Copies of this chain bind each other. A is one copy, B any other.
Amino acid sequence: MAPTPDWVKQLKPSGPQGYELLAAERARSNIPVEKLQELLLTKEAIERKRRILDILKSEKVFDKSQNYFSGRMERFERALAREKKLQMLKRKHNWTQEEFRTASELIGEPGPYGLHESMFRITIDEQGTPEQREKFGKPAADYKIIGCYAQTELGHGSNVRGLETTATWNPEDKTFTIHSPHLTASKWWIGSLGRTANHACVVAQLMVDGKSYGPHPFIVQIRDTKTHEPLEGIHVGDMFGYNTMDNGFLLFNNVKVPHISMLARFSSVDPNTNKYVRRGSPSLVYGTLTWVRSTIVMQAGAVLARGVTIATRYCAIRRQFQDRDAPEWEKGENAVLNYTMVQIRLLPLLAATFALHFTGKGMMNLYQENQKRMNEKNAGRDGPSKRGAGPEETQSGSDILADLHATSCGLKALSSSTAAEGLEVCRRACGGHGYSSFSGIGPWYSDYLPTTTWEGDNYMLTQQVARYLLKSARSVLANELPINGAFADFVPPPLDTTRILSTFRSRSEIGCAFDILGSDCDIIAAFAWRSSFLTFEALKHRDEEKKPWNDLLVDFYRLSKAHSQYMVVKNFYEALLSPDTTSKIDADTIDVLWKLFRLYSLHTLEQEGSEFYASGACSKHQIMLARTNAVMKLLKEIRPHAVRLVDSWGFDDWLLDSSLGRYDGKVYEDMFYRASELNPLNRVTVDPYPESDVLFRKIEGEVKSKL
């Protein structure tokens, strides 16, 4: 199109300018953004991010300006080029894993090397023998071997036991035959497999002497290391998952692989006896899963914070309809962030970003402490397997791990759902512009959404939480010492889950009376009470009324949600009390964080009102007051700090890649620039008339090469 005329270049947005409005917002609050950011991310991480960001911005290949316009082919081509460059930079600056991860996060798209880094290499390290680490791990570190983790199949997701791919041991030549008996056995959704990987860690059913030993991991070469063409008997390709990554499919037609292919740290086939051998359980892997889920919880806070940052800044700038009471300098239309209907959607989500962050952090700390203690116990042994460790000590250690595992399931489900659904709320809070790719929310939302399904489907997971809570409840009932009806000399046991269940039981005669509007610790107690109530209700349905499991799935889902919400408010509460927080930040800011805690807790409580009421944790009147008084009052109190609070998450504009979320508030200028200057469609003139077959009258620039 013709260059932008001067009269357009001179135009400015009407009324107060975006930068003035955000400046005014920032002047209304004295939240120490830098300090709060350090509390959330640590000084080191902030410094690291800035350093890496400068390097990335200086490389043309990382330019994001065409991301929102390009099609699949361009996106993938560009993503692969970026991954290659990233490896070169890693070597050049010899980055640590953390620095490398930071770089990947800043680029902000899943790339073709993704699963090689995150799953393939780690699996070899964790489940391979020293020999296998040498043979596969080393070249993988140098990207001579590029791998992926091939578990899920076209017909099989969450249920790993149901996988169809087989690995049959051949005693005669000491090999395994990898085979896909059906179309549904095709590996599917496997990141980095479609075009990039030349090896795969294939999870297959191990068959020895006609007997199945369940799924085991095998390292299998799938493409020629020179021509990169698929090897004989292998059908592999891209199944079109992410635009920037080659999620793939993979089928085997009786492919033979050597004995060393089976990762043998925990189990293997003895080539001499041809027998299956087990070397202790991979409890470390079971731990890894828990760890991964804890990271998802913490991540969920940051993921949501991205959307909340964009929506909050834009809603502080966007004006709609008059407000006669507005001060002179902002006469005209009113900032939409001043409308309670917008506040009730955004501010509880803002509170949730902090709640999820502190919860994930709390989980990870607990996990690491426990892992440390268990590893000390197992020092010298091959991995933290449990055999022979002192009973009581390891007992409690693995109890904590079991508790962590169960709660991490529920929290993964709650946090990723909160983040995904929250992002959609943020998008809609931006009105019409929310639907523009330039808002930066939509693309980010669709990339995040699968998190609600992988690492355990959010609905499936709730069954594990329920199963654990029922188990705990049974043991609580078993260990009760009734003293004429009451449980006078009750002593709280170590595990928190057991503690709240016992407390509930011990007070079941007396009942409770929590001052949810006046006392923060009573809020926690109310959430614990409701969770315990639902646990014993479910237990009654299951053990006394003998209801079938399937009929209870909905109850279990609600139970898991209730317990996870208890975990979140509890972790948030404890984080605000811990010296780790109070020592790093001033009293006024802590006070605002407490308001966020109350907003998150009371808003959740009001949403789930009927459960709190049914459990007797709160009165109908308290719940009504929570909504009409407490929550509305908290919205007013938090409103002035909204912009500084999102600033504290410290997202760089380059990362956000959003017109609406710009730190400087130049929302409309940026929207217009992307549309009129960056948009490739504006380089062509069409022939609009139905009669003619001509489509484009004039074709310029890069567009020519495309048509």
Contacts and interface: CB of A to CB of B under 8 A. Distances in A.
9 contacts: A80-B688, A157-B432, A158-B320, A158-B431, A183-B672, A195-B681, A237-B675, A249-B675, A341-B553
B73 A73 contact: no
Contact of A684 (B164, B195, B613, B706): B195
A436 to B, nearest CB: 7
Contact of A610 (B81, B609, B632): B609
Interface in A100-143: 112, 143
B69 A240 contact: yes
Contact of A155 (B2, B14, B453, B697): B14
B681 A73 contact: yes
Interface string A614-645: 10000010011000000010000000000000
A27 interface: no
A481 interface: no
Chain A interface residue number, banded: 35 or more
A686 interface: yes
A70 B707 CA distance: 13
Given A681-B194, A686-B80, A707-B73, A13 B155 contact: yes
A436 B240 contact: yes
Given A239-B675, A553-B339, A432 B228 contact: no
Contacts of A154: 13, 668, 671-672
A695 interface: yes
A236 to B, nearest CB: 9
A246 B186 CA distance: 40
A338 B553 CA distance: 11
Q: Which of A73, A198, A697 has the most CB of B within 10 A?
A: A73
A1 B230 CA distance: 9
Given A154-B672, A450-B435, A672-B154, A72 B72 contact: no
A668 B157 CA distance: 14
Interface stretch (A3-11, A298-306, A396-404, A587-595): A3-11
A246 B239 CA distance: 29
A197 B689 CA distance: 10
Contacts of A432: 152, 157, 188-189, 450, 453-454
Contacts of A28: none
A330 to B, nearest CB: 14
A76 interface: yes
Contacts of A184: 13-15, 668
Contact of A453 (B1, B4, B344, B428): B428
Contacts of A72: 69-71, 680-681
A457 interface: yes
Contacts of A11: 180, 182-183, 186, 251
A95 to B, nearest CB: 13
A188 to B, nearest CB: 8
A333 B551 CA distance: 18
A340 B541 CA distance: 15
Interface string A145-170: 01000001011011100101000000
Interface string A666-694: 00110110111001111011111111110
A436 B239 contact: yes
Contacts of A241: 435-436
A163 to B, nearest CB: 11
Nearest to A606: B610
B610 A690 contact: no
Contact of A685 (B185, B229, B671, B682): B229
A557 interface: yes
Nearest to A672: B183
Contact of A690 (B84, B180, B253, B689): B84
Interface string A695-707: 1110000010011
A87 to B, nearest CB: 4
B551 A340 contact: yes
Contacts of A182: 11-14
Interface string A538-555: 000000000000110110
B87 A690 contact: yes
A674 B442 CA distance: 25
A267 interface: no
A74 interface: yes
Contacts of A181: 14
A434 interface: yes
Contacts of A453: 428, 431-432, 434-435
A647 interface: no
A424 interface: yes
A8 B185 CA distance: 11
A376 to B, nearest CB: 38
Q: Which of A188, A237, A692 has the most CB of B within 10 A?
A: A237
A246 B340 contact: no
Contacts of A227: 685, 697
Contacts of A550: 338-340
A1 B237 contact: yes
A196 interface: yes
Contacts of A610: 609-610, 613, 623
A508 interface: no
Given A87-B690, A428-B452, 11 more contacts: A5-B235, A8-B253, A14-B184, A73-B706, A77-B696, A143-B689, A157-B432, A184-B668, A194-B682, A235-B676, A340-B550
A329 interface: no
A319 interface: yes
B341 A554 contact: yes
Interface in A31-89: 68-74, 76-77, 80-81, 83-84, 87-88
Contacts of A536: none
A130 B462 CA distance: 66
B239 A690 contact: no
Contacts of A459: 341-342
Contacts of A229: 2, 685
Interface in A253-270: 253
A238 B675 contact: yes
A70 B87 CA distance: 29
Contact of A703 (B73, B112, B435): B73
